[in-house]
Amino acid sequence: MDTIVIVLAVAVVLLALVMIAALVIVMRRTGVVTPPGPSPEQLAEVKAEVNEELERARREAEEIRTKAERDAGEILKKSEALAESAALMRKEVEEEARILKTELKELRSDLERRENRLAEREQRLDEEARRQTERARKLAETETELADRREELERVAERRQEILERVAGLTAEQAKAELVKEIENQAKREAALIVREIESEARKEGEKRACKIVTLAVQRVATEQTAESVVSVLHLPGDEMKGRIIGREGRNIRAFESTTGVNLIIDDTPEAVLLSCFDPVRRETARLTLEKLVLDGRIHPQRIEEAYERSKAEVRDLCVRAGEDALVELGITEMHPELVTLLGQLRYRTSYGQNVLKHLIESAHIAGIMAAELRLDRDLVKRCALLHDIGKALTHEVEGSHAMIGAEIARRYGEHEDVVHAIEAHHNEVEVRTVEAVLTQAADAISGSRPGARRESLEAYVKRLERLEEIAQSYDGVDKVFAMQAGREIRVMVRPENVDDIQAQVIARDVAKQVEEELTYPGQIRITVVRESRATEFAR
């Protein structure tokens, strides 16, 4: 409002100045300072000019007033805005001050709580320090007591040793041997305790998992197995064919044996001859050759050689086809042709009466099932199991074990290093380093040790059972030994007054170790030590 008053005052002053200026202008135009008496026309002109000047001054004053009002409104709005912002700022400052006061109060409370916790912790630490001091004092007393007891035990042991030497009349070497034996037995007992604890922990989950995997693998793979031998029988249409096979002065039979490398046995068996050879491929080739000659009826040295060459090519094709069929059955691809041929040759090879090619296919199926249960590479594990006995195709031609021969062959024909390692380690000739090698060993053992898979001669079987019983009977405290389940389990009965539970565990481990070192057997043998205590009384 003060600004409006000032503007109006300025406008009034300006209007007065305009009127004075108009009078001065009129006086100058007339040329008189004090007119004696103007004429009406002059007065009208002066009046018109004055009115015009007044109107222009009024308009200018109005414009100045309007501008002043507008400027005053803008100034007023700005002042109101500044007042509102100042009020907002004051509220914000007050709110921040309130928040700061609250935070300060909370910080003060938190600080007090921390100080209380620190005080409690210091108190607990002081109590713990006192307990530790008391514990250290008790430990020192216990150590002193243990040292005294140790010295007393040493004195007792010395007196015992003196008494033993005096009573038994033992020499120093004998006493040392007795002491070493006692320490060894004690160490075995302690080791057996530790091993039993570890095994009990591992068996809880390991046995369930292993039994599940092996059971699934065995249940899903069930194959027939027939026993084979090193002799093939060929049936003849009649006994007169035997004379034609022998030929004049034995010419044909000598030519046949020299060409095929197979012994031809002609005895009194009606309408049959025997072919004997350790090489199954060669024996099968000779059988096909003789079969072609018998069907043709013309038997002489030249025909024998021709039939042998045709049979040899036919057996080679059969071997390749058998190897390819095995790969198709297992879903394995991209194998070197020489390996496929060697696999097919195992069709005519047996091990303890078990066909080797069927054994390899069965082992590959089992290994694949176990690999799937363990979420491993099924194709790689099946490949390892299929090729683990590939060396048996050349054991009669190359020196060395079939595991090392097979590993060298697989390496030569570009197989993966894990496959090579599984082949060379499946009989522990090389330390096992991979899971695939372990699964290969397990599949080989399952396929070879299942009931009906393999056979052995009666004499070797009886000798193995006798040796098993002798090994178990040789240990102190053993009362009776029974070989059970066709030699797959040994039941050892011990005298409870001479053998305790820990010693029974030690005997079981020692027997198993000695059996592993001395005997050769398929699968595994279970050693069971039975310690039984009986108390008998009579009521009269």
What does the pLDDT look like over 364-377, one tens digit per residue? Answer: 988 888 888 888 88
Give the rounded distance of the alpha carbon of 296 from its chain centre.
62
pLDDT at residue 225 in the model: 46
pLDDT per residue over 306-350, tens digit each?
A: 888 888 888 888 888 888 888 888 888 788 888 888 888 888 777
Backbone region of residue 485 per phi and psi (left: phi > 0; alpha: psi in -120 to 50; beta: other values): left
Q: Structure pTM?
A: 0.44
447-476: average pLDDT: 72
Is the per-residue pLDDT at 382 higher than 70? yes
Does 472 have pLDDT greater than 80? yes
User: What DSSP string describes 78-104?
Assistant: HHHHHHHHHHHHHHHHHHHHHHHHHHH
Q: Give the Å distances, CA to CA, from 443 to 292, 351, 531.
A: 40, 16, 34
- The predicted pLDDT at position 227 comes to 40
Mean pLDDT score, 423-444 = 87
By the 8 A CB rule, do 475 and 493 touch? no
Which of the listed ranges 355-369, 393-407, 450-464 does the model predict with the highest average pLDDT? 355-369
pLDDT at position 261 is 80
Task: Write the burial class of residue 337 (CB in 10 Å: 0-12 exposed, 13-18 middle, 19+ buried).
Answer: exposed
Q: What percent of the chain has pLDDT above 90? A: 2
Tell me the pLDDT band of 487, cut-offs 50, 70 and 90: confident
Phi (first) and psi of residue 451, to 5 degrees: -60, 130
Q: Which residue has the tokens 């030699």?
A: 487
Instruction: Check: CB of residue 509 under 8 Å from CB of residue 529.
Output: no
* Stretch among 48-62, 165-179, 474-488 having the lowest mean pLDDT: 165-179
User: Using 50, 70 and 90 to split pLDDT, how confident is the model at 160?
Assistant: confident
Each residue of 200-248: pLDDT tens digit? Answer: 777 666 666 666 665 555 555 545 444 445 567 777 887 778 888 888 8
* Structure confidence at residue 417 (pLDDT): 92
Q: Is 261 left (phi over 0), alpha (psi -120 to 50) or beta?
A: left
Q: Mean of the pLDDT values across residues 506-516?
A: 89
Q: Residue 228's pLDDT is what? A: 46
**Could you count the other beta carbons within 10 Å of the beta carbon of residue 57?**
19
Is the C-alpha dihedral spanning 188, 189, 194, 200 positive or negative?
A: positive
pLDDT of residue 54: 77
| Predicted local confidence at residue 384, as pLDDT | 92
